[in-house]
Structure 1
Amino acid sequence: MRMIVEDVMTSKVVSVTAATPFKDIAQALITDDISAVPVVDDDRHVIGMVSEADLLRKEEFREQFHREDYRPPLRARLRHPKGRQKAAGDTAAALMTTPPIVISAAASVVSAARIMQARDVRRLAVVDGNGCLVGIVSRRDLVKVFLRDDDKIAAVVRDDVLGRALWLDTSDVRVEVH
């Protein structure tokens, strides 16, 4: 059994709309103990993501508005050239990172991990075939794969690896997991 995103994702997702104010986003992150929220339109299509890092840009660039000689660290300027615009943002529309990085619930957890690594993100919005939000998958969710019990791992080796991939008769195969 190949592990897919749907097996490990969080399906009860806190989301916001483009018009959601800064303080309401911050409150949602704190109240729900999460590090980001997807931004959705009226049809639940994901249009962006607002993370703690996006909110912290307000503080990061605050001195710049008071003292002209302040320059954020080079890393921040190179990684987030829109930082100054986001720092002035008061709604999810101004703060969100776009385009959103999304994944299908049917995608493999390996694909999710690769996308997160390649795009340097900590979470992906999970969408259905119409692009509507159905969940969110984080790096922490992907770590759940390592917590499978031994019987499930043995079944994967026997049924998927030996049976489906190698087309072997597994009726007499015994798999032990340590």
Structure 2
Amino acid sequence: MTRDVVEAYPEMPFKDVVGLLDVHRISGLPVVDDDKVVGVISRTDLTRRRAARSPDGRVRGFRIRPLGRSARRADAPARTGLARELMSTPAITVHPEQRIADAARVMERHGVERLPVVDEEDRLIGIATRRDLLRVFLRTDDEIRRELHDEVLPRVLGRPDHGVAVSVHDGMATLEGALEHSGDLPLVIRLTYRVEGVVGVVNRLTVRAASGPVGPAKGPTGPGAEHR
């Protein structure tokens, strides 16, 4: 997600909303009241309002003037209305712990280009766009493997020579090796899932005992994970 979010507030005038979309060259933005997302405004919402105000009832295209051109246009939208009257509500949102694939399905199901990312109290903390998701899906298996092996596992297990073998195929990460402490397993699995591009985890980890490795380690693995 992107943490630097352009946002509107419910009482923001129509012309100011259009100005934000114009200046930042974006197709939509969340409407926030007291730090909570109450709606979303897109170019589609503005087009719908323009059509509703058309005297002959015909739908005309909505166009935000490019930067540097004259603001005086015959086809400029009416300069009235407030953000709360234009926005789509309730807003379609996601939480930061949701998986990338789930966010992509939400976008497809609702036909939206961006999703506000909110905490458990619906406070805005970021925004995810189709471009953001595409960038994640374009990560190669080798990029994902290197991040897991060289960054995530050393950070969790406290040493670079952690002894866990990592392989990734089509986004599915397989972890093999012996952990010193059983309590490390849930964190290893959870942080593996959080790596961009990981679509599932195959857990082949064991826990090392005084007499050597014993049995497959048990722990929560989340959706799509396997125990073998």
> Matches of 2:44 and 2:122 in 1, distance apart?
25
Q: Which structure has the larger Rg over C-alpha atoms?
A: 2
Match of 1:27 among 1, 16, 19: 19
The answer for unaligned runs of 5 or more in structure 1 is 1-8, 74-86, 170-178
Q: How many corresponding residue pairs?
A: 144
In structure 1, the partner of 2:224 is none
Measured after TM superposition, the shift of residue 167 of structure 1 is 2.9
Q: Contact 1:49 / 1:100 at 8 angstroms: preserved in 2?
A: yes
Q: Contact 1:126 / 1:137 at 8 angstroms: preserved in 2?
A: yes
Aligned to 2:106, the other structure's residue is in SS state helix
> Matches of 2:109 and 2:48 in 1, distance apart?
23
Measured after TM superposition, the shift of residue 72 of structure 1 is 4.9
In structure 2, the partner of 1:121 is 112
Deviations along 1:19-49, one digit per CA (max 9) or x if unpaired, are: 000000000001011111101112x100000
Measured after TM superposition, the shift of residue 98 of structure 1 is 0.4
Match of 1:56 among 43, 47, 54: 47
Measured after TM superposition, the shift of residue 90 of structure 1 is 0.3
In structure 2, the partner of 1:161 is 173
Aligned to 1:144, the other structure's residue is in SS state helix
Q: TM-score, normalised by structure 2?
A: 0.56
Instruction: Please report the RMSD computed on the Cα atoms of aligned residues, expressed in angstroms.
Output: 2.7
The answer for unaligned runs of 5 or more in structure 2 is 61-77, 149-165, 176-188, 190-200, 206-228
Matched AA of 1:31: V
Measured after TM superposition, the shift of residue 162 of structure 1 is 1.7
In structure 2, the partner of 1:39 is 31
Matched, 1:130 2:142: no
Percent identity, please.
39
Task: Give 1 or 2: higher helix fraction.
Answer: 1
Superposition pairs for residues 84-99 of structure 1, below 5 Å?
90-99=81-90
Q: Contact 2:37 / 2:123 at 8 angstroms: preserved in 1?
A: yes
The one of the two structures with greater contact order (alpha-carbon pairs below 8 A, sep at least 6) is 1
Q: TM-score, normalised by structure 1?
A: 0.71
> Matches of 1:95 and 1:118 in 2, distance apart?
22
Task: Give 1 or 2: higher strand fraction.
Answer: 2
Measured after TM superposition, the shift of residue 88 of structure 1 is 10
In structure 1, the partner of 2:73 is none
Aligned to 2:16, the other structure's residue is in SS state helix
